[in-house]
């Protein structure tokens, strides 16, 4: 297995969805914000965008790129100094493209960014990983004058294409590596080196917890926070309420209240370590406040914290499908019925899609159970049943389309 992916130059992996987003917004009078989980590829995307600008005729002198994780830019981490430096580099008679990478390291960065934004010859792009970027604070400090691109680690399709394979016989093997080795781009370069992968994932996890959650929320009882994370990770795809999480943690001997659980969950959501999917009552056309579901940013991080005993591969697949749906631009909800549930309602401006996700429906009773919620719907929106089945992988059940989930993941 270690030779399937080999050594990959990460700069060669095309993140076309994200790059196209930036290209569409060139010269538009709005700040472009690229946010996302740490180490998901934001810096490489910004470098790719710089190359795209040059390829399209922009002179190198008109591109000001600053990486604030590079020590040579230490003196620019104060907003007055940053603003003065950029103004000194700008070409006065033409458009300047200002690319500021990991700008959360600059104190009061928004003051410099807002001042650059009001210039007629400045097109500003910023990236950030800090939870500051994932909260309502960003809208306040940038006065709402921005459009945000939220990046994720590699999709299954990006991971697959990085493998340089086209034979479908390898799909299941590549998927296994995708969910166990990680979707973080760098792990492709160390494929097969499990110790190195574990150390890398540990570094990401610890940094996010200590800086984006503990540091930002001033958490004093870190052990209880870690217990909460482990519980949520272990129960991805399961209905969870704040009260249920509180009771579970208290049953282990730790003490926590509902208000603190809500606060911790908000911090974890802001950091993009986890995602919450709310329930929608299909018949009543209303959102339900209880029993939301949670998913994790990367399946391998879940294995790191929870372990691989009883791997819960069905919910892992559900997790992967959820991330792909939001990557494709859907708003996603859990569909609540009186006697049943639809895993995902995926909404865009042009309508809905419904998705049931199951590891396998070869067993007739499982197939019937998964189809029943979809059969209860009385509209004509597309309905899908996604599984890992390789035998009888494709079928149509009165308009409900069964597909192999891995081929669906590659189908865009």
C-alpha Rg value of the chain to the nearest Å: 23
Handedness of CA 319, 322, 326, 327 (dihedral sign): positive
**Is the separation of the CB atoms in 78 and 106 below 8 Å?**
yes
The pLDDT tens digits for 159-206 are 998 876 655 558 999 999 999 999 999 998 888 899 999 999 999 999
Q: Percent of the chain having pLDDT more than 70?
A: 92
Q: Where are the domains of the chain?
A: 10-151, 193-410
Mean pLDDT throughout 219-230? 97
Report yes or no: 68 and 101 within 8 Å, Cβ to Cβ: yes
Please, which residues have CB within 8 angstroms of residue 254's CB and are 6 or more apart in sequence?
221, 223, 224, 227
pLDDT of residue 241: 96
Q: pLDDT tens digit string along 333-345?
A: 999 998 899 999 9
Spatial contact of 51 and 63, defined as CB atoms under 8 Å apart? no
Please identify which residue in the block is written with the tokens 């990401």.
Answer: 204
Q: Is domain 10-151 in CATH 3.40.50.300, yes or no? A: yes
pLDDT of 1 strictly over 80? no
Range with the lowest mean pLDDT among 71-80, 156-165, 209-218? 156-165
Which pLDDT score, from 0 to 100, does residue 129 have? 73
Q: What is the mean pLDDT of residues 356-366?
A: 97
> Regarding predicted confidence, which is higher, 33 or 133?
33
Least confident of 201-205, 211-215, 262-266, 280-284: 280-284
Contacts of 206 by beta carbon, 8 Å cutoff, 6+ apart? none
Task: Give the β-pairing of 340-348 and 331-337.
Answer: antiparallel
- Beta-sheet pairing, 340-348 with 351-357: antiparallel
Please check whether residue 154 is in contact with residue 13, taking contact to mean a CB–CB distance below 8 angstroms: yes
Instruction: Quick: pLDDT tens for 273-309.
Output: 999 999 999 887 888 888 999 999 999 999 999 998 7
Task: Quick: pLDDT tens for 19-30.
Answer: 999 999 999 999
User: Residue range 134-162: average pLDDT?
Assistant: 82
- Provide the pLDDT for residue 286: 86
Classify residue 390 as exposed, middle or buried by CB count within 10 Å of its CB (0-12, 13-18, 19+): middle
* Model confidence band, residue 5 (pLDDT cutoffs 50, 70, 90): very low
As a whole number of angstroms, the distance between CA 163 and CA 159 comes to 7
Cβ atoms of 190 and 205 within 8 Å: the answer is no
As a whole number, the mean pLDDT across the chain is 91
Question: Exposure string (b/e) for 320-351, b if CB count within 10 Å is 16 or more?
Answer: bbbbbbbbeebebbbbbeeeeebbbbbbeeee
122-145 b/e (C-beta count within 10 Å ≥ 16 → b): bbbbbbbbbbbbbbeebeebbeee
In the predicted structure, residue 98 carries a pLDDT above the cut 70: yes
Q: Report the half-sphere exposure of 80 (CA within 13 A, side-chain side).
A: 0
pLDDT at 316 over 80: yes
Q: What is the 3-state secondary structure (H, E, C) of the chain?
A: CCCCCCCCCHHHCCCHHHHHHHHHCCCCCCEEEEEECCCCCHHHHHHHHHHHHHHCCCCHHHEEEEECCCHHHHHHCEHHHHHHHHHHHCCCCCCEEEEEECHHHCECHHHHHHHHHCCCCEEEEEEECCHHHHCCHHHHHCCCCEEEEEECCCCHHHHHHHCCCCCHHHHHHHHHHHHHHCCCCHHHHCCCCHHHHHHHHHHHHHHHHHHHHHHHHCCCCHHHHHHHHHHHHHCCCCCECHHHHHHHHHCCCCCCCHHHHHHHHHHHHHCCCEEEEEEEECCCCEEEEEEEEEEECCHHHHHHHHCCCCCCHHHHHHHHHHHHHHHCCCEEEEEEECCEEEEEEEEECCEEEEEEECCCCCCHHHHHHHHHHHHCCCCCCCEEEEECCCCCCCEEECCEEEEEHHHHHHCC
In whole angstroms, give the CA distance from residue 170 to residue 176.
Answer: 10
CB of 387 closer than 8 Å to CB of 360: yes
């Amino acid at each position: 297995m270690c030779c399937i992916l080999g050594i990959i130059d990460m700069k060669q992996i095309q993140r076309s969805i994200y790059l196209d987003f930036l290209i569409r917004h060139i010269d538009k009078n709005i700040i472009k914000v690229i946010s996302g989980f740490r180490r998901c590829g934001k810096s490489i995307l910004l470098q790719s965008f710089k190359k795209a600008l040059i390829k399209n005729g922009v002179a190198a002198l008109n591109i000001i790129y600053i990486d604030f994780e590079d020590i040579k830019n230490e003196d620019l981490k104060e907003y007055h100094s940053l603003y003065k430096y950029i103004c000194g580099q700008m070409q006065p008679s033409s458009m300047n493209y200002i690319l500021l990478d990991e700008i959360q390291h600059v104190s009061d960065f928004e003051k410099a960014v807002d001042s650059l934004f009001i210039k007629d010859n400045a097109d500003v792009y910023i990236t950030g990983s800090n939870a500051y970027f994932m909260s309502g604070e960003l809208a306040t400090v940038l006065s709402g004058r921005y459009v945000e691109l939220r990046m994720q680690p590699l999709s299954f399709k990006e991971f697959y294409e990085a493998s340089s394979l086209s034979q479908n016989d390898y799909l299941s093997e590549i998927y296994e590596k995708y969910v166990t080795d990680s979707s973080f781009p760098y792990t492709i370069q160390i494929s097969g080196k499990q110790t190195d992968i574990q150390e890398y994932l540990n570094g990401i996890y610890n940094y996010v917890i200590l800086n984006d959650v503990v540091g930002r929320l001033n958490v004093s009882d870190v052990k209880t926070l870690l217990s909460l994370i482990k519980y949520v990770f272990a129960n991805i795809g399961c209905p969870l309420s704040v009260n249920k999480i509180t009771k579970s943690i208290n049953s282990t001997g730790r003490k926590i209240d509902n208000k603190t659980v809500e606060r911790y969950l908000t911090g974890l959501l802001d950091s993009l370590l986890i995602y919450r999917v709310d329930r929608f009552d299909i018949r009543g056309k209303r959102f339900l406040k209880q029993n939301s579901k949670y998913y994790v940013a990367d399946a391998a991080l879940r294995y790191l914290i929870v372990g691989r005993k009883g791997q819960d591969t069905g919910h892992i697949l559900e997790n992967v499908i959820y991330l792909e749906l939001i990557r494709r631009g859907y708003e996603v909800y859990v569909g609540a019925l009186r006697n049943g549930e639809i895993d995902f309602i995926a909404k865009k401006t042009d309508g809905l899609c419904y998705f049931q996700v199951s590891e396998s429906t070869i067993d007739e009773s499982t197939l019937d159970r998964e189809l029943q919620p979809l059969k209860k719907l009385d509209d004509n929106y597309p309905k899908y049943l996604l599984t890992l089945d390789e035998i009888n992988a494709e079928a149509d059940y009165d308009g409900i389309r069964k597909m192999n989930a891995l081929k669906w993941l590659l189908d865009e």
